[in-house]
Structure 1
Amino acid sequence: MSALNRDEVAHLAMLARIDLSQDELQTLSGQLEQIARSVAKVGEVAADDVPPMSHPLPLTNVTRVDEVRPSLPVEDALAGAPAAQQRRFLVPRILDEE
């Protein structure tokens, strides 16, 4: 596996919207490389007869039937909201994207 360089770590930080200093980029590039090597070791020890799984125990998703039931009218739900627009809660924008 190739080493993660500062530019790649800076790109990942930008995608995660994390502002990192040059020192942090240098430190994280080494730490992320070590994490990537550790994760790669899992692939080396996985046996062919063991299927990939997301959890060590079998899980069953218990769901209920989706049925329409009476609910709170929109006006009542929005009555306590600080701001509403087009019958929806109005919240401040948190990203600079359209």
Structure 2
Amino acid sequence: MSHAELTTKEVLHVAKLSRLAIDGDAVEGMRTQLSTILGHIAQLQAVAVDGVEPMAHPLHIVNRLDADEPKPAMDVSDFLRNAPATEGRFLAVPKVLADGGDA
């Protein structure tokens, strides 16, 4: 089954949304790999599944839940070290609503 190839511009856009830095040499390889993955997804979407009963798991098992026990929290400084932006002891995130919304 044929599928549309991703453009370099689309790959760079996805990389930006994913906060991934991709240099010029890696873009072509990433474009090829992502196009191949999308081709596989297109093949799966083309499979006729009419009349197939949906399932969450192929085995008939009951969820086994671990005990809900408190555990030590991650140290704030370790957590913030991985954040792209911080303000004091808080994560800084881009504004979503310009006027604060109706909340």
- Identity across the alignment (%): 29
The correspondence of residues 16-27 of structure 1 with structure 2, limited to 5 A, is 16-27=18-29
Of structures 1 and 2, the one scoring higher in RCO (CA 8 A, sep 6+) is: 2
Point out where structure 1 has 5 or more consecutive residues left out of the alignment. Answer: 79-87
Point out where structure 2 has 5 or more consecutive residues left out of the alignment. Answer: 87-91, 93-103
Amino acid at match of 1:96: A
Say which of 60, 76, 80 aligns to 1:90. 76
Structure 1's 64 and 31: CA in aligned 2 closer, same or farther, altered over 3 A?
Answer: closer
Secondary structure of the structure 2 residue equivalent to 1:45: coil
The correspondence of residues 32-71 of structure 1 with structure 2, limited to 5 A, is 32-53=34-55, 55-63=57-65
**Matches of 2:75 and 2:30 in 1, distance apart?**
39
Amino acid at match of 2:40: S
More off after superposition, 4-13 vs 46-55? 46-55
Q: Rg larger in 1 or in 2?
A: 1
Structure 1's 16 and 58: CA in aligned 2 closer, same or farther, altered over 3 A?
Answer: farther
